[in-house]
Amino acid sequence: MSWKDYLTLHQAAHLEDFRTFLSIPSISAQPAHQDDVRRAALWLAARFKQAGFLQAEVLPTAGHPVVLAEYCPYPDKPTVLFYGHYDVQPADNPERWNSPPFEPTVVDGRIVARGASDMKGQVMAFLLAAESLIANGALELNVKALIEGEEEISSPSLPAFIEQNKERLRCDMIINGDSGQLSESTPLLGLGVRGICALEFDLVGPSHDLHSGTWGGGLQNPLHAMAELVASLHNPDGSVAVQGFYDDVEPLSPELRAWYKKIPWDEEAELKKLGLQEFYGEEGYSHWERTTGRPTLEVNGMWGGYTGPGGMTVIPSTAHAKITCRLVPHQNPEKIVMLVKAHLEKHLPRGVRLQVRTKEAGAFAFRMSADHPGCVAAREVLTELYGVPPVETMFGGSVPILGTLKQMLGHDPVSFGFGLEDELIHSPNEFFRLSSFEKGKQGYAMLLGRLAQ
């Protein structure tokens, strides 16, 4: 019996296992679900054992535990490490769900449940792929699965865990399952994500709000100062005006720019979808270059004064803003925060004081070569599985774990997952396509087979 036949034969039982996994509300963000998170880890470790993994343990961290499963019978063969997470987003507002978030329901070829697409479906698909190979004596390389329980809360405990278990996590290649495809018919090969850093600041004027009639014209209005300062952060050509911001940025190579041109982009359709007249960004760059290849500085929130209905004639005491920057390779998130801070200080308008807060940890960008052996293997498998070659792209968002894994374990993680963009992750009625579940099992089995060659 081939691994394919094995998967076909056990299809119904495997779907039941998936439902069982989904029915455990492993919400990492909510202390009330701490025991559920642990229960999901215990269930998953047991299921890895049942799949034939030689070891599968629930290991403690400073926060929620990690599941580490190992099938490493070959001292002389390479080792692949699969990264995933078993925790899920909260499922508040149950009234907005068509079926209870932790009672998985199959409707029209979709399984609806919190965590179905992000990413229990892909963890199960990988596990079952490995099981089908082990069951047929066809898993001809070493496999480790590192499944964490804190991804949805930014993986605070994972770096220390990896550091402490470096030897045990040693591998020759990393697969990141927390990823997706472009559509049901078109595969996707992701070659990078941007990094991120964040800061907040206040501009402080008079010690209390003042009447804008009595005082207007006589002192700096913190909202005027805020506008002037925020406006100073960008140049007329759309680039970031912070001195030194681009110092560590490598120009996009002619090869990369040629590669970018191949990413599909229907500008008219996208404008219509967003109700916009035009896209706008750094001059001289295309949309994909702007949103994935170039760094940005975006104000995510800005506020001060009276914001309620009607009018209130006030000069507010303070004004506030929150900023995030998206970074490209070689930009250091801590350095960028310092540069932005220096810009704010240097361009501070008269008559206000500046208070900067930098609470959140940043992340480096991550890019890998399209020629990386893992990418080559993924491309071949995806082409066979979908009948067309994958669209190759980078992402504008940030997946901090990629940089962490690369830095700590020394390999570029290959993103290989089966989520689709419309599957309502982080929203009510999250679902995963059963067709993606099937493709996932086959895809992981094919990838493990290909990598063993």
**Interface with a copy of itself in residues 261-290 (CB under 8 A):** 273-282, 287, 290
For a copy of itself, the binding residue among 65, 304, 443, 449 (CB under 8 A) is: 304
As measured in angstroms, the least distance from the Cβ of 448 to a copy of itself is 28
When asked if residue 251 is in the footprint of a copy of itself (CB under 8 A), the reply is: no
Residues making up the chain, counted from first to last: 453
As measured in angstroms, the least distance from the Cβ of 311 to a copy of itself is 5
> In whole angstroms, what is the distance from residue 162 CA to residue 150 CA?
13
Pick the stretch among 34-42, 43-51, 241-249, 312-320 that binds a copy of itself (CB under 8 A).
312-320
When asked if residue 453 is in the footprint of a copy of itself (CB under 8 A), the reply is: no
SS3 314: strand
> In whole angstroms, what is the distance from residue 355 CA to residue 83 CA?
39
SS3 178: coil
> 77 or 96, CB closer to a copy of itself?
96
For a copy of itself, the binding residue among 215, 241, 372, 384 (CB under 8 A) is: 215
As measured in angstroms, the least distance from the Cβ of 229 to a copy of itself is 8
Q: Tell which positions 402-421 bind a copy of itself, by CB under 8 A.
A: 421
**Diameter over CA atoms, the chain:** 87
What is the pattern of x (binds a copy of itself, CB under 8 A) and - over residues 334-363? Answer: ----------------xx-x-----xx---
> 218 or 254, CB closer to a copy of itself?
218
Helix axes 11-22, 434-452, angle to 10 degrees: 110
Query: How many Cα atoms occupy the beta-carbon half-sphere of 1 within 13 Å?
Result: 13
Cβ-in-10-Å burial (0-12, 13-18, 19+) of 49 comes to middle
Q: Tell which positions 108-147 bind a copy of itself, by CB under 8 A.
A: none
For a copy of itself, the binding residue among 10, 39, 224, 450 (CB under 8 A) is: 224
When asked if residue 306 is in the footprint of a copy of itself (CB under 8 A), the reply is: yes
When asked if residue 253 is in the footprint of a copy of itself (CB under 8 A), the reply is: no
When asked if residue 244 is in the footprint of a copy of itself (CB under 8 A), the reply is: no
When asked if residue 324 is in the footprint of a copy of itself (CB under 8 A), the reply is: yes
Pick the stretch among 35-43, 46-54, 366-374, 395-403 that binds a copy of itself (CB under 8 A).
395-403
As measured in angstroms, the least distance from the Cβ of 51 to a copy of itself is 30
Helix axes 434-452, 373-386, angle to 10 degrees: 140
Tokens 């965590």 correspond to: 115
Among left, alpha and beta (phi > 0; psi -120 to 50; other), residue 58 is beta
Q: Tell which positions 158-187 bind a copy of itself, by CB under 8 A.
A: none
Between the CA of residue 434 and those of 7, 25, 85, 183, 343, what are the distances in Å?
A: 14, 21, 20, 14, 51
Pick the stretch among 47-55, 132-140, 390-398, 436-444 that binds a copy of itself (CB under 8 A).
390-398
Cβ-in-10-Å burial (0-12, 13-18, 19+) of 67 comes to buried
> In whole angstroms, what is the distance from residue 37 CA to residue 87 CA?
7
As measured in angstroms, the least distance from the Cβ of 222 to a copy of itself is 9
- Give the pair of three-digit tokens for residue 367: 């890019």
Strands 195-204 and 353-357: antiparallel
As measured in angstroms, the least distance from the Cβ of 174 to a copy of itself is 20
- Cβ atoms 175, 123 nearer than 8 A: no
As measured in angstroms, the least distance from the Cβ of 319 to a copy of itself is 7
> In whole angstroms, what is the distance from residue 122 CA to residue 132 CA?
15
As measured in angstroms, the least distance from the Cβ of 377 to a copy of itself is 26
As measured in angstroms, the least distance from the Cβ of 309 to a copy of itself is 7
Pick the stretch among 39-47, 49-57, 132-140, 308-316 that binds a copy of itself (CB under 8 A).
308-316
- Give the pair of three-digit tokens for residue 300: 């995510």
Q: With CB under 8 A, what is the number of residues at the site for a copy of itself?
A: 95
When asked if residue 301 is in the footprint of a copy of itself (CB under 8 A), the reply is: yes
> 42 or 271, CB closer to a copy of itself?
271
For a copy of itself, the binding residue among 106, 135, 227, 370 (CB under 8 A) is: 227
Identify the DSSP state of 246. Answer: T
When asked if residue 426 is in the footprint of a copy of itself (CB under 8 A), the reply is: yes
> 324 or 415, CB closer to a copy of itself?
324
- Cβ atoms 336, 197 nearer than 8 A: yes
The sign of the torsion formed by the CA atoms of 295, 301, 303, 306 equals: positive
- Give the pair of three-digit tokens for residue 451: 């990598």
As measured in angstroms, the least distance from the Cβ of 48 to a copy of itself is 28
What is the pattern of x (binds a copy of itself, CB under 8 A) and - over residues 23-52? Answer: ------xxx---------------------
**Among 314, 290, 320, 313, residue whose Cα is nearest residue 229:** 320
- Give the pair of three-digit tokens for residue 129: 């792929």
